[in-house]
Amino acid sequence: MRNEQRTARLLNGISLMRVVMVVPVVALVELGPTVRYAYVAAAVLFTVAAATDFLDGYLARRWGATTELGVFLDTTADKLLVAGVLIALVAVGRAWPWAAVVIVGREIAVLGLKAAAATGGTVVKPSIWGKLKFNVQFVAITAAIVRYPQRIGFLYLDQWAMTVAAVVTVLSAVEYFSRFSFVLGSGAQ
């Protein structure tokens, strides 16, 4: 039992570290227009924070150490990281507000779906679409932070990536809602 508690504390600590890292990443993005290398530092920290998601997921699966608190912290950390950095990127003109609304809106909608499912005893497990969404968002956000200075056609590389991220995000939401549509139609309030 003692070992299981230590393992859970380690995994929860990794997720909490990701939550804490949101603040400096956001601050560095906001300093980017005026402080040299702030965007580079933000990209490095964002990458480290995103990598902790893979690390704690890998370790939790390997050790068979999944807890309700761990799942909550992991999900919350991911959403705070993506939403916080996207909002900062909008503030400095490196992300479109519509893309941020699509991405953050999907996170809130799917979170609500998961909560509704949980009240009925249904567990909404992650799908390949959810994992693909996170990876595409990671690439798009990192590209927006470090922005390649030349346009490709009429958009920057990160804007093309953000467009793909928005599309994959919507497709991910459609997949979740179609898979768990029975939760929404299970009765009137």
Number of domains in the chain: 1
- What range defines the domain where residue 117 resides? 2-183
The CATH number for 129's domain is 1.20.120.1760
Residue 189 inside a domain? The answer is no
The pLDDT confidence band at residue 33, using thresholds 50, 70 and 90, is very high
Summary mean pLDDT of the chain: 91
Residue 177 inside a domain? The answer is yes
Residue 12 inside a domain? The answer is yes
Q: Hey, what's the torsion of the CAs at 131, 136, 138, 140, to 10 degrees?
A: -170
pLDDT tens by residue, 67-98: 777 778 888 899 999 999 999 999 999 999 99
Check residue 1 and give its pLDDT: 61
pLDDT tens by residue, 44-53: 999 999 999 8
Q: Closest Cα partner for 17 from 58, 38, 45? A: 45
Does residue 185 register a pLDDT over 80?
no
Q: Closest Cα partner for 53 from 83, 77, 23? A: 77
| Residue 143 structure tokens | 């590209």
Check residue 133 and give its pLDDT: 94
**Residue with the larger pLDDT of the pair 70 and 157:** 157
Residue 11 inside a domain? The answer is yes
Check residue 186 and give its pLDDT: 56
Residue 125 inside a domain? The answer is yes
Residue 188 inside a domain? The answer is no
Residue 69 inside a domain? The answer is yes
**Residue with the larger pLDDT of the pair 157 and 65:** 157
Q: What percent of the chain has pLDDT over 90?
A: 61
Check residue 140 and give its pLDDT: 98
Q: Closest Cα partner for 81 from 89, 71, 70? A: 89
pTM score of the predicted model? 0.90
